[in-house]
């Protein structure tokens, strides 16, 4: 399964920029990789892992206005994602083979 996190956080004040940066660093430290700007994805081995990472996300939400959403999809759905403009990321090219490295 994949957990995809989409976020739109303000960065107009120093406090907001710090909150944005801390949230982004949390995502990277927790094993997410950037798919696009403000879109991060992570492989989860089953529903229990998804729930564990959803709990972690909720515990690390920034204390500023903005929007953060998550989406749980299967690996097959992720592989069927179409690219309308741009090129596939390294992670997309690895596909399910990425789990071999864990």
Distance CA 61, CA 57 (A): 6
Its pTM stands at 0.85
CA 34 from centre of chain: 7
pLDDT of residue 92: 77
Q: 14-70, pLDDT tens digit by residue?
A: 999 999 999 999 999 999 999 999 999 999 999 999 999 999 999 999 999 999 999
d(CA 59, CA 6): 16
* Domain residue limits, the chain: 2-78
Six token digits for residue 85? 């403009």
Note the pLDDT of residue 88: 86
Q: What is the CATH number of domain 2-78?
A: 3.30.70.240
Q: Which residues, 6 or more positions from 18, have their beta carbon under 8 angstroms from its beta carbon?
A: none
Number of helices (H), then strands (E), belonging to the chain: the values are 4, 4
Tell me the HSE value of 10 on the side-chain side, using a 13 A CA sphere. 9
């Amino acid at each position: 399964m994949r957990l995809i996190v989409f976020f739109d956080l303000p960065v107009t004040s120093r406090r907001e920029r710090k909150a944005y940066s801390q949230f982004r660093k949390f995502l990277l430290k927790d094993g997410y990789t950037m798919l696009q700007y403000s879109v991060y994805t992570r492989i989860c081995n089953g529903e229990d892992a998804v729930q564990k990472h959803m709990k972690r996300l909720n515990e690390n939400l920034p204390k500023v206005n903005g929007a953060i959403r998550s989406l749980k999809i299967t690996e097959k759905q992720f592989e069927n994602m179409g690219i309308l403009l741009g090129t596939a990321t390294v992670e997309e090219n690895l596909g399910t083979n990425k789990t071999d490295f864990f």
